[in-house]
């Protein structure tokens, strides 16, 4: 299988490239328009997208490139819609043009988000793929809009699309803008002699965490065995409070700390509970999570400590 990956230099993209290589697939890595570590690709440039397809001649396109940080989407919704919706529409157009010219229809694996489910009543959990979408922030709205766009293309133009709704992915290499690596970075700084105070947001929220390496394997499995036109939850199927993740990180750091709540770290649209059902993904592909949450957390702290020592 020949795979083209947009957003290949991002957190999930790097791990997906490794999973594709492990499975013996050819890879064509595309980064952002100014990326030096992969082929630069601008989602706003339809001709560049078509050129990447012509060069890669892919059997499958993994579309990971996106604006993924919710606070940034809240601060600049227009840019988020431009990247996540219009950029996806441009890619769909490029795929249509490529299919007509080459008489070939690459499968499109679209990286959506469980954020599209938004606030749900307690009885709705664990969330299944038929749960009504109810996005409650610009990032979630952009992903829901892109999903509808692609499914409309699938019905009208026979686009071979599979939707992947990721829950909370974690693991080594994630930006410290996100909660778990941010906690790990703060603790590594404290362990290195910094002031023993941590600044946190809502610790009571409960989340479905999945290691990014397990997620990457699932992406490959869905490219191989997913059903055209279907959406799949990508999640562990278990839930943990943020405070329990922080406790595990503190145990890994072996340092006494004072934990302070920071109002600036509170998200106005934060959901108290977010738990997914991965039954559909398991049934379609035989995939199962392999990496325990504790192992992920320990590796995230080790990576933060190593990065601090190298700086």
Q: Does 18 lie in the same domain as 149?
A: yes
Do 126 and 246 fall within a single domain? no
Q: What is the pLDDT of residue 74?
A: 85
pLDDT tens, residue by residue, 2-39: 999 999 999 999 999 999 999 999 999 999 998 888 99
54 and 96 housed in the same domain: yes
Pair 162, 245 in one domain: no
Instruction: Record the tokens describing residue 71, joined without a space.
Output: 């606070």
| Domain hosting residue 116, numbered range | 2-169+210-234
Is 279 within a domain?
Answer: no
283, part of any domain: no
Total H helices, total E strands in the chain:
11, 13
- CATH code where residue 301 lies: 3.90.25.10
Read off φ and ψ for residue 7, nearest 5 degrees. 65, 30
pLDDT for the residue 266: 65
Q: 131 and 53, same structural domain? A: yes
Q: Is there a single domain that holds both residue 51 and residue 143?
A: yes
Among all chains, which residue has been given the structure tokens 């790097």? Answer: 14
pTM of whole model > 0.75?
Answer: yes
For residue 124, give the CATH number of its domain: 3.40.50.720
Model pLDDT, residue 310: 64
Does residue 123 share a domain with residue 267?
A: no
Residues 26 and 6 in one domain: yes
Q: Which residue(s) pair with 6 in the sheet?
A: 30, 63
Give tens-digit pLDDT for 214-232.
999 999 999 999 999 999 9
Q: How far apart are CA 172 and CA 169, in angstroms?
A: 10
How is residue 288 written in tokens? 């199962």
Q: Are residues 198 and 155 in the same domain?
A: no
Give kind and range of the element (H or E) at residue 154.
Answer: helix 138-157
Q: What is the mean pLDDT of residues 124-153?
A: 96
Work out whether strand 60-63 and strand 107-113 pair parallel, antiparallel, or are unpaired.
parallel
């Amino acid at each position: 299988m020949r795979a083209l990956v947009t957003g290949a230099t991002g957190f999930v993209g790097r791990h997906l490239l490794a999973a594709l290589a492990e499975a013996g697939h050819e890879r064509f890595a595309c980064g952002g328009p100014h990326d030096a570590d992969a082929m630069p690709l601008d989602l706003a440039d339809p001709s560049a997208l078509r050129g990447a397809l012509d060069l890669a001649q892919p059997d499958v396109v993994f579309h990971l490139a996106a604006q993924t940080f919710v606070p940034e989407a809240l601060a600049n919704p227009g840019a988020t819609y431009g990247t996540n919706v219009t950029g996806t529409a441009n890619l769909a157009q490029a795929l249509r043009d490529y299919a007509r010219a080459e008489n070939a229809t690459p499968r499109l694996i679209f990286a959506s988000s469980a954020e599209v489910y938004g606030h749900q009543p307690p009885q709705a959990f664990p969330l299944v793929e038929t749960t009504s979408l109810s996005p409650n922030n610009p990032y979630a709205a952009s992903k829901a809009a892109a999903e509808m766009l692609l499914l409309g293309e699938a019905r009208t133009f026979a686009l071979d699309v599979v939707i992947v709704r990721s829950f909370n992915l974690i693991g080594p290499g994630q930006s410290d803008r996100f909660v778990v690596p941010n906690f790990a970075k703060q603790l590594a700084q404290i362990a290195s002699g910094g002031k023993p105070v941590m600044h946190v947001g809502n610790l009571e929220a409960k989340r479905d965490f999945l290691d990014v390496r397990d997620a990457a394997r699932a992406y490959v499995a869905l490219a191989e065995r997913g059903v055209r036109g279907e959406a799949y939850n990508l999640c562990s199927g278990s839930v943990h409070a943020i405070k329990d993740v922080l406790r595990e990180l503190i145990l890994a750091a072996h340092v006494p700390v004072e934990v302070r709540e920071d109002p600036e770290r509170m998200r106005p649209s934060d959901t108290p509970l977010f738990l997914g059902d991965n039954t559909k993904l398991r049934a379609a592909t035989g995939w199962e999570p392999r990496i325990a949450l504790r192992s992920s957390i320990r590796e995230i702290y080790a990576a933060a400590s190593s990065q601090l020592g190298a700086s």
